[in-house]
Amino acid sequence: MNKSLIIAFIYILLASILWRHCEDATLPKLMELCLRYGTPTMLVIQCIFLARGQLYWEHLKTPFQKKQIKYWLSIFNKWVCLALTAYALQIVAIKLENTETEYYQWIQTNWIFAAVFAIILLPLRPRIDRLSNLFILAISALLSYQLLLTQREPSLEESVLLKAPFAEEFCVMNGGYSLLNNMLQSSSRSPRAFGVHMRPATRTFLNDSERNRPYPEAFGATILAPATGTVITANESIPDLPMGQIHPDTGPGNYLLLQIDQQHYLIFANLQQNSIRPESGERIQAGEPLAAIGKSGMFSEPVLLLVATTSPDIFSPQVSSLPILLEGVEKVAAPEANAPFFPTRNEHYRPIQYTQH
């Protein structure tokens, strides 16, 4: 059997086991493991081939001969896949979950692994059979599709237009169309597919001392109503847990459902226990305090989950979610850009009224 297919089968088997038994198993996590464990695996294979005298050098000795084209195309196919994987993992990285040093080290490490992997492939006899190359090409196509989705933005007609949910600068930890920048985008039919994770940007990165505190500074931050509406229902009875602990069965945790018009509803989830201010049935104006960020849901840290839906039955799998656009804010990285903005991972926004004080 083709050796490359055997290796691919082993990785698929390991990925399946990880996906089944690890709670935090995600596509980016599997990509990172394949890149980091694939490099030493291929290095061991290369050493075995070297000991046996089975390394292939002809395409390196005579790289421009016509007969070597098929080998270079096979190598180039793998190089493209490695580069796409490293770039995708760079997009995956969330700045606020690491210190500045750790953030850049994580990105650099993945690029180094990809570069070493690419060099290791050179003296190995390239697999030029169609099945192996089609398999690698398919992976590259899937990664390219997800990378293109990171650049996609919704139209105004298909979106819900909202104001800032905070009175201070805030950042987005999950948001977008792609699996790479929005872990909620598990499928187009997911009721949380266009959900947005955000928190006040009190600093660009977590510092080391904050890791040992029960809650980072985002815990307890006031959430403002991003639109005028009526409170339909709310739950604030679930206790908050410290960093590193996750409720196994609380779902969104404490939440508030706000109806902003006849067809659109907003869900505010992962709220602090006993922090919801308005009562059910109460009319709320945009900019009024709603609740505080907590850690009552299935999230690893205090963060606001904001979802726009078309139904008050928020726990139904048939509920469709809508993209969210932000108005009345400026993008910190591009103050000259005009709103509305589609919030995506690692973007920072500042309410315009906040900048005027």
pLDDT in tens, 332-355: 888 888 889 999 888 889 998 644
Torsion of CA 328, 334, 337, 338, to 10 degrees: -10
Give the pLDDT confidence score for residue 39 in this predicted structure: 79
Q: Please report the DSSP string for 296-355 in residue order.
A: -SS-SS--EEEEEES-S-TT-TT--EE-EEE-SEEETTBTTSPSPB---TT-EEEEHHHH
Give the pLDDT confidence score for residue 229 in this predicted structure: 96
The three-state secondary structure class of 255 is strand
Q: Helices 27-52 and 100-121 sit at what angle, rounded to 10 degrees?
A: 40
Structure tokens at 204: 């660009």
More confident residue, 318 or 200: 200
298 near 250, Cβ under 8 Å? yes
Give the pLDDT confidence score for residue 56 in this predicted structure: 73
Which domains are delineated in the chain? 3-149 (no CATH), 160-355 (2.70.70.10)
Cis bond before residue 28 (omega within 30° of 0): no
123: nearest Cα among 22, 240, 232, 45: 45
pTM assigned to the model: 0.78
Q: Please report the DSSP string for 172-205 in residue order.
A: EEE-SSSTTT-TT-S-TT-TTTT-EEEEE-SSSS
pLDDT in tens, 49-84: 777 776 777 777 777 888 888 888 888 999 999 999
Place of tokens 């990105």: 107
Residue 263 has pLDDT above 80, yes or no: yes
